[in-house]
Amino acid sequence: MESTPTPHDDLACLAWQIELGATEAILDAPVNRYDLPDKTVQPTLRAAPVRPAAETATPTDPVSAAGTAAAGATTLKALQAALAAYPHCDLRLGARNLVFSDGNPAARIMVIGEAPGRDEDLQGKPFVGRAGQLLDRMFAAIGLSRHAARPEDALYIGNIMPWRPPQNRDPSPEEIAMMRPFMARHVALANPDLLVLMGNISCEAGLGKRGITRLRGTWSEAWGKPALPMFYPAYLLRTPAAKREAWADLLALKARLRSLT
């Protein structure tokens, strides 16, 4: 009993015919090739009219486009809208929500994370999953909260990447480069006294280098502000022994904040 050919069998047959040199599709009716024009007879050539050369469109530079879009935003709300309208980062195509910020924009401390995870993508807010709950407990230990009304007690939280990367992968260098102008404008508009760079992606974007175990605990400067690199809370969940260093960094942050009062 003969089996019915599957689409896979049809594709295999087609590939075999192409390999043999069959490059023309079979028509519904036969073709009388004696009626076809003789290709050996060369037609009389006429000079084609001279037309002006078409202008070649210059490819858009995503980083330059990001800089232009960010510079045009004069408020945080306008910057969020500019990010939402930015078409050059493909991460936006697979994300449910734009994750812009949370907390008090008037806070003296701005925490900059890496990229949204599943919970953040669903809720449209940064640091709302298990890592976010740990972050809240960490900063509560030094008297700071994203829910505080007074700027001196508050946190303002954002991410380098506003869209969740597929499978929570690290953002590529190209994706980070696109977001740098937006984060620079974000910091300028929020104008905090201090920055906390959570994890390697934030350090790469703000400091141009990675190596959080080496960078953490040492004050540097990012986007014109004093910046303290710290372990990402998700890392602390996986490596509880590193919480000692995280606590030392929180105390250093508290001391620096008091010195600016």
* Average pLDDT score, the chain: 89
Give the tens place of pLDDT for each residue, 42-90. 555 555 566 655 556 677 899 999 999 999 999 999 999 999 999 999 9
Give the tens place of pLDDT for each residue, 82-102. 999 999 999 999 999 999 999
pLDDT at 138 exceeding the cut of 60:
yes
Name the residue with higher pLDDT: 140 or 22: 140
CA atoms within 13 A on the CB side of 81: 8
Helix (H) or strand (E) holding 96: none
Distant-in-sequence, close-in-space partners of 136: CB < 8 Å, separation ≥ 6: 127, 145, 146
Domain ranges, ordered by start, for the chain: 63-259
- Select from 94, 135, 90 the least CA-distant residue to 118: 94
Give the tens place of pLDDT for each residue, 195-246. 999 999 999 999 999 999 999 999 999 999 999 999 999 999 999 999 999 9
CATH fold, domain 63-259, is: Uracil-DNA Glycosylase, subunit E (3.40.470)
**Can you give the pLDDT at residue 155?**
98
**Can you give the pLDDT at residue 261?**
78
Beta bridge partners, 101, equal: 158
The span from the CA of 183 to the CA of 108, in Å, is 17
pTM for the complete prediction? 0.77
pLDDT at 137 exceeding the cut of 70:
yes
